[in-house]
């Protein structure tokens, strides 16, 4: 369990699942070195990401040849609550993370390259400036007497945001690792910030299929089935919230552009009875799949090909002609690929 100043650690016996020892180390280079010395080389580390605080331990462990596993925060939290709901301490959390790793396979802890890490920090700073600008713009409108005092602040923030935009553009253009950003900007609705964010996520993670990337964005639709009841629970929202927001805004911008190949898909979803928000989420899913495909296969953006893919196939027409109950069963099995 990682915090700003400490590493609460528990070593578990893989056979008995009982703790061998439980200790606390400082979250410093010296503390991580001591932890490496006190743990068996074959014992994997299960880390729950806590921003930049867990970066030191993960980097040092991987450099030392240790296997570092990623405990997804939401899943780990539910697991910890299921085994211990009466107390919450760093020591109990570290014990629970170890049990979580023993109970189910966990993915490797992803470490970003220096370029991607730099890009993520610039994007994070830009998001903060944009939020501050929106706040001050609203205050200037709602508080007219304060508008003159806020004007120089807004101008300074806008200037700094433009500086960050230049740095982001230079970074994506100057490194082959982020070359996909230039191709993504050709897609209507995807601007420089969204393209840079997509490039950073696709580069720093491994997605074997577009379904995995859609799930990472939290744009996949949950399915609920019990007995004869088959339904959907809306978006899972279990992924990158900022990327999901950017893709939704990109979907809105895409539909406003002339000649968008996704308009037919949007209208088809609306004709099924979906609300405009749900139909926009379907377009955002398509954009996520398109971004994954461009990165995975190294192909160029082709609007004509996207348009062909968005046409109703004979299978889709057959499904839509079925009775509502049977169509719901089939759609629930296909929903991840919608």
**In-domain check, residue 109:** no
Q: Is 237 left (phi over 0), alpha (psi -120 to 50) or beta?
A: left
Q: 136 and 160 share a domain? A: yes
Task: Answer for the pair 47, 41: CB distance below 8 angstroms, yes or no.
Answer: no
Q: 171 and 98 share a domain? A: no
* pLDDT for res 83: 87
pLDDT of 85 higher than 80: no
Q: 222 and 166 share a domain? A: no
Helix, strand, coil % over all residues of the chain, rounded to 5: 60, 10, 25
* pLDDT for res 236: 86
- From CA 246, how far away is CA 157, in angstroms rounded? 21
* pLDDT for res 238: 84
**In-domain check, residue 188:** no
**In-domain check, residue 191:** no
Sign of the CA dihedral 227, 231, 234, 238?
positive
Q: 234 and 309 share a domain? A: yes
pLDDT of 315 higher than 50: no
**In-domain check, residue 67:** yes
Q: 126 and 151 share a domain? A: yes
pLDDT of 115 higher than 90: yes
At 151, list the tokens. Answer: 């004007």
* pLDDT for res 337: 38
**In-domain check, residue 58:** yes
pLDDT of 214 higher than 80: yes
Q: Which of 139-153, 223-237, 318-332 has the lowest mean pLDDT?
A: 318-332
Task: Answer for the pair 57, 7: CB distance below 8 angstroms, yes or no.
Answer: yes
**In-domain check, residue 305:** yes
Residues spanned by the domain of 12: 6-103
Q: How many domains does the chain have?
A: 3
What's the rounded mean pLDDT across residues 304-325? 51
Q: 295 and 317 share a domain? A: yes
Task: Answer for the pair 132, 157: CB distance below 8 angstroms, yes or no.
Answer: yes
pLDDT of 332 higher than 60: no
Q: Which of 101-115, 249-263, 319-333 has the lowest mean pLDDT?
A: 319-333
- Rounded to the nearest 5°, which phi and psi values hold at 230? -130, 125
Q: 46 and 134 share a domain? A: no
Q: Which residue has better confidence, 206 or 286? A: 286
Q: 148 and 224 share a domain? A: no
* pLDDT for res 308: 65
Nearest one of 261, 121, 134, 253 to 197, comparing CA atoms? 121
Q: Which of 31-35, 232-236, 261-265, 312-316 has the lowest mean pLDDT?
A: 312-316
What's the rounded mean pLDDT across residues 202-216? 92
Q: 89 and 170 share a domain? A: no
pLDDT of 53 higher than 50: yes
Q: 302 and 249 share a domain? A: yes
**In-domain check, residue 171:** yes
């Amino acid at each position: 369990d990682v915090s700003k100043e400490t590493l609460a650690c528990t070593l578990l016996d893989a056979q008995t699942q009982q703790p061998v020892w439980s200790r606390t180390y400082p979250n410093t280079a010296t503390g991580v070195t001591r932890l490496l010395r006190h743990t068996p080389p074959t014992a994997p580390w299960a880390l729950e990401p806590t921003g930049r605080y867990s970066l030191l331990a993960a980097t040092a462990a991987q450099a030392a040849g240790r296997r570092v596993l990623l405990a997804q925060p939401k899943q780990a939290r539910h697991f910890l609550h299921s085994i211990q709901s009466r107390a919450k301490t760093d020591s109990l959390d570290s014990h629970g993370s170890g049990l979580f790793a023993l109970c189910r396979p966990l993915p490797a802890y992803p470490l970003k390259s220096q370029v991607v890490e730099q890009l993520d920090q610039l994007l994070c700073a830009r998001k903060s400036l944009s939020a501050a600008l929106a706040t001050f713009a609203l205050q200037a409108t709602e508080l007219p007497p304060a508008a003159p005092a806020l004007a120089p602040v807004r101008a300074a923030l806008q200037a700094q945001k433009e500086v960050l935009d230049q740095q982001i553009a230079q970074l994506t253009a100057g490194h082959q690792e982020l070359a996909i950003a230039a191709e993504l900007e050709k897609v209507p609705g995807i601007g420089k910030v969204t393209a840079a964010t997509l490039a950073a996520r696709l580069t720093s993670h491994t997605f074997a299929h577009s379904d995995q990337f859609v799930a990472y964005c939290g744009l996949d639709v949950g399915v609920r089935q019990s007995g004869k009841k088959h339904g959907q629970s809306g978006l899972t929202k279990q992924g990158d919230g900022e990327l999901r927001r950017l893709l939704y805004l990109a979907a809105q911008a895409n539909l406003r552009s002339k000649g968008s190949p996704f308009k037919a898909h949007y209208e088809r979803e609306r004709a099924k009875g979906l609300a405009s928000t749900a139909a926009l989420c379907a377009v955002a899913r398509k954009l996520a799949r398109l971004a994954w495909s461009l990165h995975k296969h190294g192909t160029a953006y082709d609007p004509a090909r996207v348009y062909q893919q968005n046409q109703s196939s004979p299978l889709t027409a057959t499904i839509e002609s079925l009775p509502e109950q049977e169509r719901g069963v089939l759609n629930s099995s296909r929903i991840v690929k919608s």
